[in-house]
Structure 1
Amino acid sequence: MPRSPRYRRPTLDSAVAAYEKRIAPLLAPEPADPSGRRRVAQENDTAVSAALGIEPIAVATEDSTVPVDEHPDVRVRVYWPGAVPAPRGAGLPILVYFYGGGFTIAGIDWVSWDARFRQRARDAGIIIVAADYAHAPEQHFPAQPEQCWSAFEWAYAHAEELGGSRERLAVGGASSGGDLAAAVTLMNRDRENRPIAMQVLENPALDLTIGHADMRGISAGMPGVIVRTAGQALVRQYVGDDRALARHPYASPLLADSHEGLPPALILTSELDPLRGDGEAYARALSAADVPVTAIRFIGQTHGSLGSTGYVPAADAAHRILVGELRTLHDRGRA
């Protein structure tokens, strides 16, 4: 009888290793205090982007401020696929997107995120509405999902004047932004039931109890207990002192009592990312609820490496997959 194949510990993609080695000298250490960490993280993003020659392409953009009931207003930035805004009634798809940053850092003004939104809008031929939701710990849950819900409602209400279509509306996010995107789909089902054509989740955090984190892909140099401790620290900053809030479905969409009636999903996960467990468990939960779902695991990739387009072939493949999926929105609602 043939032998069963031996288990091999996952290994880091050589392109990711080369990329990390290249940018390591550019990264200043981040201080412990939240505001200082946020400032240095943005400075690091600017330095890395400059060194790699990342320059946002010229597409039309416009910022607006959206009021949020009982919480701080949220700024949104609209990205059009061309050099000028789409005319009213053009019927373009709209993707409402939430950036990733562990609920504590990043934003739509970061060079890397701004460049990514511009590239995706142009390549997919869609409008992107990116929400600059508030950071923890200055603002706690549920401020962020409420801000993201308000951004989604604003996009729905203004779809036609933006040159978009309410029939071609999608929601997406990465990491903590994936958590917020999934939360918005639950809030929509519970509140208004707007027609969301698609949800796109990239390495999403979906269980803030850390109950589905998969540590098997972490290297020996980063023990799982350290990863869990770091994750729990971010969760405490986000939900505050009441740890029970981490189980709320708008904080941990994976733990919702039901996933029925949610939008079709594309979920991307990475083999060497502890959040792989969240994304893949969510894919199974959606499938069990008869929600169409496609889940793709990228071998040898880390939590952030799929954002390294131009330097990591798997990141380029992920971009093509996302763009291809978003382009299918153009056919929604047509006879």
Structure 2
Amino acid sequence: MPLHPEIAKFLAAQPAPPAGPVDPAALRADEESHVPPLAERLPLHAVENTYADGVPVRIYTPDEAERHGLLLYFHGGAFFLGSLDTHDHLARSLAEATGLKVVSVGYRRAPEHAFPAGLDDCWTAVRRAAAARERLGWDGGTFAVAGDSSGGTFAAAVAARAHDEGWDLITHQVLYYPSLDLDFDEERYASLRENAVGNGLETAGLKPFNAFYVDSGADPADPRVSPAKRADLSGLPPALVVTAECDPLRDEGEAYGRRLADAGVEAKVRRYAGAGHGFVQHFSWLPEFQGVFTETRNFLRR
């Protein structure tokens, strides 16, 4: 199936990227300029900005209930883009759809902060949320990690670290079109060739966009950087892996889901037809994709 016509129309209207090296500051400024004003965002019972041992977090409470399950959310952006604000609408939608209290994490980004600063921040936020269970009103049930794109990388890596350290509170992992293998050899996955151009994220852009992270010390052979490199996936939390048909990263996410299942982990892989990378963040309003939040809710209620 080709790329959804609304996405294709949007991409066709975008100006050509500027020539020369990728400029993090310029791309961040452009991304932040599209964040809607607060008055236009989905209203929730409460939204609070605070810190988890120095890590900025934003806590979304969906309703007046005293206790909720928890979902720790890590935004995407190739490890150097994205923020609490650019993914505010996504966190709000998750809180509303799932009924969980969502804790969105403003981790440190490359290139200013070397690996593993961002990953460590995500881990810190998860551990701090557990320590603050009474303050957060955790109901003792769901304690999930989730992320989109590079945030999915962090979610998978955090789930693996928790398992390795014998820390068993994480009940689910939700990975939206995750970047799980930072070895971008086009021969590794067919989707890197099939979806190389014309769908938004392009295969040729993967190396330069992720170079800020890799050059900061993130070795693609390290399972903390590329969770697909982890040899043993047994014992990890149940996973929902959402992929996009027209995404270069599609096949690595689906392969990871199959490996989880082969290792005895409950894993659901869901491919959205006609979707491109980033569709949950940018195009979840389209009727064909609105079900992603309901699907997430149903998975987290198991």
TM-score norm. by structure 2 comes to 0.88
Equivalent pair of 1:99/1:177 in contact (CA under 8 Å)? yes
Higher-Rg member (1/2) = 1
**1:32 to 2:22 alignment:** yes
User: Residue by residue, what CA displacement relative to the aligned partner does 1:235-276 show, whole Å, maximum 9, x if unpaired?
Assistant: 321022657x11111101110121111000011000100110
Q: 1:228 offset after TM fit, Å?
A: 3.8
**1:60 to 2:46 alignment:** yes
Partner of 1:7: none
Q: 1:164 offset after TM fit, Å?
A: 1.1
Equivalent pair of 1:16/1:312 in contact (CA under 8 Å)? no
State the alpha-carbon separation in 1 of the partners of residues 197 and 95 from structure 2: 39
State the alpha-carbon separation in 1 of the partners of residues 22 and 193 from structure 2: 28
Q: 1:135 offset after TM fit, Å?
A: 1.4
Taking only the aligned residue pairs, the percentage that are identical comes to 32
Q: 1:291 offset after TM fit, Å?
A: 0.4
Letter aligned with residue 58 of structure 2: R
Q: Tell me, which stretches of 5 or more residues in structure 2 are unaligned? A: none
Partner of 1:237: 212
User: Residue by residue, what CA displacement relative to the aligned partner does 1:197-234 show, whole Å, maximum 9, x if unpaired?
Assistant: 111000000011125452244266579xx944421123
Letter aligned with residue 78 of structure 1: I
Partner of 1:173: 147
When residues 271 and 104 of structure 1 are mapped into structure 2, their CA distance, relative to the original with a 3 A threshold, is same
Letter aligned with residue 69 of structure 2: P
Match of 1:160 among 115, 122, 134: 134
State the alpha-carbon separation in 2 of the partners of residues 77 and 29 from structure 1: 33
Match of 1:101 among 60, 72, 77: 77
CA RMSD of aligned residues (A): 2.7
Equivalent pair of 2:80/2:110 in contact (CA under 8 Å)? yes
Letter aligned with residue 52 of structure 2: V
Equivalent pair of 1:54/1:115 in contact (CA under 8 Å)? no
**1:294 to 2:280 alignment:** no
Match of 1:135 among 106, 109, 133: 109
Equivalent pair of 2:44/2:60 in contact (CA under 8 Å)? no
Q: 1:324 offset after TM fit, Å?
A: 2.6
User: Residue by residue, what CA displacement relative to the aligned partner does 1:79-117 show, whole Å, maximum 9, x if unpaired?
Assistant: 1012x5x53xx2x1100110111111111122xx21221
Equivalent pair of 1:182/1:253 in contact (CA under 8 Å)? yes
When residues 217 and 189 of structure 1 are mapped into structure 2, their CA distance, relative to the original with a 3 A threshold, is same
When residues 190 and 306 of structure 1 are mapped into structure 2, their CA distance, relative to the original with a 3 A threshold, is same
User: Residue by residue, what CA displacement relative to the aligned partner does 1:285-323 show, whole Å, maximum 9, x if unpaired?
Assistant: 101111010001111110022334564222212122123
When residues 230 and 19 of structure 1 are mapped into structure 2, their CA distance, relative to the original with a 3 A threshold, is closer
Equivalent pair of 1:56/1:114 in contact (CA under 8 Å)? no
Q: 1:55 offset after TM fit, Å?
A: 2.2
Equivalent pair of 2:152/2:176 in contact (CA under 8 Å)? yes
Q: Tell me, which stretches of 5 or more residues in structure 1 are unaligned? A: 1-9, 68-72, 330-335
**1:14 to 2:5 alignment:** yes
Letter aligned with residue 237 of structure 1: F
Q: 1:140 offset after TM fit, Å?
A: 2.0
How many residues align? The count is: 297
Query: Per the alignment, in what secondary structure is the counterpart of residue 288 of structure 2?
Result: helix
Q: 1:122 offset after TM fit, Å?
A: 2.0
Query: Per the alignment, in what secondary structure is the counterpart of residue 146 of structure 1?
Result: helix
